[in-house]
Amino acid sequence: MMLVWRSPSPRHGNMLPVNRLSGPMPWVIAIMMFLVVLTAAAGLGLGQASAHLRGGLAGRITIQIVEADPFERGRQLHAALKELRRLAGVTRASRVEPAKLQALLEPWLGTGLDSRDIPMPEMIDVDLTPEARARLDSLAEVVRAAAPSARIDQHAQWLAPLDQLLALLKWLALALVILMATATAFTVVLAARAALDNHRETIAVMHLLGATDGQIARLFQRKIALDSLFGGMIGFVVAGVIVLLLGRRLNNLGSELVGAISLPAGGWLLLILLPLLGTALAVATARLTILGTLGRIL
């Protein structure tokens, strides 16, 4: 009579413990997933900020009318605004209110500033289309013809190093996610090998009863998959709460640049997929490890 091995059902007991809290592996996976989700969220947020930087702030220029005579300063301001508003590619041209300028200077010059004591330049914020940015020299000539005291500051010039830093940090976040995924895979390898060593005698009996390596591997895969999913969801939930709190704090700062560090559309969907991808990685790693180890020891 030939004996055929059938995987044990939960009713009759399992070769491996079914308690999802047993052993350190679920908690190691939870810690790794927590770090992966935070790092991935940081990378996505930095990518969003970099895109906002290039598409929004970098497309803006500031024009200063530096003139001591208040009457002449006002005349040049209105002349520059008139020319800017009729130019193609200028989506917005608005005067920066003196109260706002005083608020910007208060940290250095204190409160109670009087324009009669400290002449402040008139400033104009200008938003440009990409086509207008390409012909900025001709725009500057038109502005200086209307306002000889005008000075043009390009945001793109001083934002370029910041954009490079954001890009570097974004790629660094991606590298860290890959490293932590690799570390998680190594953790699964060690856990699978330890489980095989602990059940070596049972596995030998199962082979004698006709069980194949694939059937034995499935027993370990199921336990590792449950541990990985359990730990991954715990890590995701904790990291998700922290991401939400940090996002709220960044929005409350009121900074246009810092506020741009946010998750893009579909960012949360990608973060939710991370525990599932981590589980798939753990299962695939466990199967390859178990089959490879069984082929060597048996």
pLDDT digits (tens, 9 = 90+) for 49-97: 777 776 666 677 888 888 878 888 888 888 888 888 888 888 888 888 8
pLDDT, position 236? 94
Take residue 294 and report the two structure tokens written for it. 């069984």
Number of Cβ within a 10 Å radius of residue 259: 15
CA distance 72 to 133: 28
Asked if residue 282 lies in contact with residue 230, where contact means CB atoms within 8 angstroms, the answer is no
Residues of the chain with pLDDT under 70: 1-22, 54-58, 105-119, 156-158, 253-260, 296-298
Contacts of 8 (CB under 8 A, 6+ apart): 14, 15
* Radius of gyration (C-alpha) of the chain in whole angstroms: 31
Asked if residue 132 lies in contact with residue 88, where contact means CB atoms within 8 angstroms, the answer is yes
Could you tell me how far CA 11 lies from the centroid of its own chain?
45
| Pure H helices in the chain | 25-55, 70-86, 98-109, 130-134, 136-146, 155-198, 200-208, 213-252, 267-297
Take residue 128 and report the two structure tokens written for it. 């440009």
pLDDT, position 4? 43
Q: Considering only CA atoms, which of 93, 106, 105 is closest in space to residue 62? A: 93
pLDDT, position 2? 42
CA distance 99 to 94: 14
pLDDT, position 8? 45
- CA dihedral of residues 134, 140, 141, 143 (deg, nearest 10): 140
